[in-house]
Each structure stands twice: as structure tokens, then as C-alpha cells.
Amino acid sequence: MSQIALPLDWPADETDADFIVSSSNAAAVKHLEHLGTWPVWATLLTGPRKSGRSLLARIFVLKSGGTLIDNAEDQSEERIFHAWNTAQETRHPLLIVSHRAPPEWKPRLADLRSRLSATPAIRLEEPDDVLIDLLIEKQLAARGVFTRPEFRSFVVARIERSFVAVLRFIDMVDQAALAQRVKIGIPLAKQVLAEMGVIDES
């Protein structure tokens, strides 16, 4: 498993070694690594909250020398339109990061809509089991907590498949361990997952 730690609440260096690649995001990463296959000099990147969209985009821009427009739905449509045109003229890639892709995202500017319709859209999916395991291991290790495989397997088998849920679990289990002055293990995982409404602790 290659690693190109997602931006949860803990610092991450923006290098390839800080983005964890699994089957849930490998297709998007492959697309970004192969500029020569892009039909136009722009790509639209979407994904769920806390999936690492912005981190991956910044890494891509650092490596490619391209341009990034983050939170595109909150930006000026004219700015995106002109950036798209400039990317084609200069042959420097433009990466547009958005919450949604067309047709869910419907810019009012007709010329922008037409350009986005010609732009490939890639998506980071919710985490798979491998990515959840690695996220728990890496994020807790960043806090000085080293977890055992059986602990992570217990959590992976029960937690909701979302980055937000994984982040919430990491925060809650770390806080509970500090408050109760206990080690992070399966008993504490049961307690936290029950508090999250994932399992019935009884």
C-alpha cells in the first residue's frame, strides 16, 4: 500500500508520503499522475468531507506546477472560466476542487457550464477497510498512541464507512483514554463505538 495522513485535525506535511492511497482513491490518484491522458488541461476533483481533496490537490500542484481552485462552488464563476481558458492556452494543468460535480453543480455562467462538461471529473470515495485501518493507526500514532492490529480490526468491522466517523472515533477514543487514564484497546473501543451509536455495548 503506497502513501502519497489525510488532513484530519493533525498537521500533515504536503508530500506524497502523507496521502494514504487505497482502492477508494487510487483511480483519482492515477488520473492525476497521468497528465498525458487528460482530454483538456483541467480536471474536477470531488469527494466527501475530510477525504483529503485539498491536500491531494496541493500535492498535485506542487508536483505539476499547475493551478488550483479550491472550494470552487464558492468562487467567482468568471475566475474559474478564465482559469480554464488560461490552462488550455498555456498548457499548464488546472485542478478544480468542488463539493459536487455537474450536473449537481450548476454554474449560472453558460460558458463555464460548457467547459466543465468537457472536463474530466474524478472522485475520492468514502474510505475502504484498508484505508480506515491505516487512518486509525497513523492518526493515533501522531498523538503518541500505538495501536495493535486486533484493536483496529475490531473498529474497522463496526465503524461507519465515512471519514467524518473515523475522525470522530479517533478524537473520542483519545479523549476517553486521557480522561479515564486507560490504554486504548478493544474495551475502550467498545465504549466509544457505543457512545457513537454504532454498537450496543451491553
Q: Taking the domains of the chain in order of start, what are their residue ranges?
A: 16-123, 129-195
Residue 1 pLDDT > 80, yes or no? no
Positions of E strands within 48-171: 67-69, 94-97, 121-123
DSSP state of 68: E
In the predicted model, what is the mean pLDDT of residues 134-155?
95
In the predicted model, what is the mean pLDDT of residues 177-194?
95
CA distance 69 to 23: 25
**All residues at 6 or more sequence positions from 47 whose CB lies less than 8 Å from its CB, including other chains:** 25, 28, 53, 123, 124, 125
In the predicted model, what is the mean pLDDT of residues 73-100?
97
CATH code linked to domain 16-123: 3.40.50.300
Higher pLDDT, 111 or 2: 111
Question: Given its phi and psi angles, is residue 91 left (phi above 0), alpha (psi -120 to 50 degrees) or beta?
Answer: left
CATH topology of domain 129-195: Helicase, Ruva Protein; domain 3 (1.10.8)
Query: pLDDT, tens digit, for every residue of 44-74?
Result: 999 999 999 999 999 999 999 999 999 999 9
Residue 16 pLDDT > 50, yes or no? yes
SS3 96: strand
Mean pLDDT estimate for the chain: 90
Query: pLDDT, tens digit, for every residue of 90-123?
Result: 999 999 999 999 999 999 999 999 999 999 999 9
